[in-house]
Amino acid sequence: MAHRFTIRLVVVLSLAFLMNKAEAQLLSPEQTYAANSPGVGMVQTVFSGTVYVNKVGMNESRFKQLVDSVKKLDTSGTMLSAEEKLDIVVKALYNSPFRYFSRTSEYYRQQHRINSSGTGFFVTGDGYFVTNCHIIDRDNAYIRRQFILSTFKDVTDANIRSLEKSWEMTLNEEQRGLLNNVYSVIYSQVSSMIIFDLKKDIFVHIRVNGRPEDFATRRLPAKVVVKGKAMPGKDVAVLKVDSVMQMPTLPVSADPMTRIGSQVLVMGYPEPVTSNTFLARETGIEPTLTTGVVSALKRSIGGWPVIQMDAVIAHGSSGSPVCDNKGEVIGLATFGSLEQKTGSLAAGFNFAIPVSVVKEFLDSAHVMPEMSRASKTYNEALALYFKGYYFKARQFFESASEINGSYPLLAYYISDSETRVKAGQDKESFSQQLVFRVLAFVIILGGLYVFYHWQRLKRKRFYRP
């Protein structure tokens, strides 16, 4: 009986140990962000080229007739103000643009560049980086449309400034808006545009170690190793950043699929944040954390699985790592849902490509996801830091700094750990102090006992008859 009881006790204790160990592996959102955000980077694809576009000229005789007709409305010059007369002229141009403007044989020549940005993350210390294909592989129609918008805006602004100068008038916002529409219509329908020397460059922007208020960054050129196709294709791309070692990396989950109801954490660069005019520009490199749960497991029209989640994502979040509560990447944020009436992104109905699909591309590129030594050391330091062992944590942070001195957030955590140790918040030092105090108390009690016992013996010998 005693033998069976011992076996049961060992089994129960073993299960309790394993359960505690499993629970210990779960990370808070704060720790997950601290561990994984250093390995998240902003992807920027820059398309550049030389643009030639036909100049648009004004029919001077017809424009003079328009001005004369406006003057005849107020022969005394007292009924209409100069601004009201200008309003009439601008609205006439707006209502009949092709009557007053036409294409000329001359060309504008301009250098233009457009940017496409998103998010991605490192899966190896030597620079392999995962993101969405549509960030780095825009189709020709998109590129041409963006060049047209950019070029026409510049040309339109130049034409409006020229008109203001020739008229010796300053247009108000409404008038400028009307003329802008006039030129947009004219250039889009009668002016031809030719693009030469189109080039594409891909960069990964990352944070580097420094004072927390500095937001120091590096821009690293990247090249495409393997890519799929934008949705409805498998929207995955693997990039390579050369000449780097011991980069911050994210752990990739070994589970092919997550469970409905599981917590998810997404880190990326949503455009509403990075383009917010009230925020300092340099803070844009700080990833944004959003959280939610797995809402459903769906299939794409291509037949492969996708993860539905309610974590908020927006333009710019494409390519963001979707992590579970163990800090492991379970998916790649890729697309959202559109509101039928407004055409805007519907909040809370977003989708990620699971790691099983991402691994297909990594396998085809012969890339094995692996945590860098710098990240392992840094994460060990974080585990100690969040448990309150600040003295040991500082030692590990310093070791991570020796491996990769540019590792983000190291300066902050080393400084904060040191501050907490000095403030007496370190658990180990507190335990040691408690032990020393108990030992001191025991020694004092023992000394008092010995002294008291010695005094008793002394009195007995003194009063012995």
* Burial of 265 per CB tally in 10 Å (0-12, 13-18, 19+): buried
Q: Which of 291, 355, 267, 246 is nearest to 33 (CA)?
A: 267
pLDDT of residue 6: 43
Q: Distances in Å between the alpha carbon of 399 and those of 37, 356, 375? A: 19, 34, 11
Instruction: Average the pLDDT over 266-283 and give the result.
Output: 89
Region of residue 209 (left: phi > 0; alpha: psi -120 to 50; beta: else): beta
- 3-class SS of residue 310: coil
pLDDT of residue 156: 72
Q: Is residue 82 part of a domain?
A: yes
Q: Is residue 398 part of a domain?
A: yes
Q: Is residue 404 part of a domain?
A: yes
Domain housing 63: 47-110+140-197
What H or E segment, with its residue span, contains residue 112? strand 101-122
Q: What is the pLDDT of residues 157-168, one digit of tens each?
A: 777 777 777 767
Final residue before a domain boundary, out of 158, 179, 197: 197
Q: pTM for this one?
A: 0.75
Final residue before a domain boundary, out of 406, 422, 438: 422
Q: What is the pLDDT of residues 48-105, one digit of tens each?
A: 888 887 777 778 888 888 888 887 777 766 677 777 878 888 888 888 888 888 878 8
Q: Is residue 219 part of a domain?
A: no
What is the C-alpha separation between 266 and 290, in angstroms, rounded? 5
The pLDDT of residue 439 is above 80: no
What is the C-alpha separation between 297 and 320, in angstroms, rounded? 18
Q: How many domains does the chain have?
A: 2
Query: What is the DSSP annotation of 364-395?
Result: HTT------HHHHHHHHHHHHHHHT-HHHHHH
Final residue before a domain boundary, out of 164, 197, 230: 197
The pLDDT of residue 464 is above 70: no
Q: Is residue 151 part of a domain?
A: yes
What is the C-alpha separation between 119 and 345, in angstroms, rounded? 18
Q: Is residue 192 part of a domain?
A: yes
Say which amino acid occupies 177: G
Tokens of 76: 């005394």
Instruction: Average the pLDDT over 361-387 and give the result.
Output: 96
pLDDT of residue 260: 93
Q: Is residue 64 part of a domain?
A: yes
What H or E segment, with its residue span, contains residue 363? helix 355-364
The pLDDT of residue 310 is above 70: yes
Q: Is residue 39 part of a domain?
A: no
Q: What is the pLDDT of residues 216-250, one digit of tens each?
A: 899 999 999 999 999 999 999 999 999 999 999 99
Instruction: Average the pLDDT over 195-219 and give the result.
Output: 86
Q: For the ranges 212-221, 248-257, 375-384, which has the lowest average pLDDT?
A: 212-221
Q: For the ranges 124-133, 247-256, 333-342, 381-390, which has the lowest average pLDDT?
A: 333-342
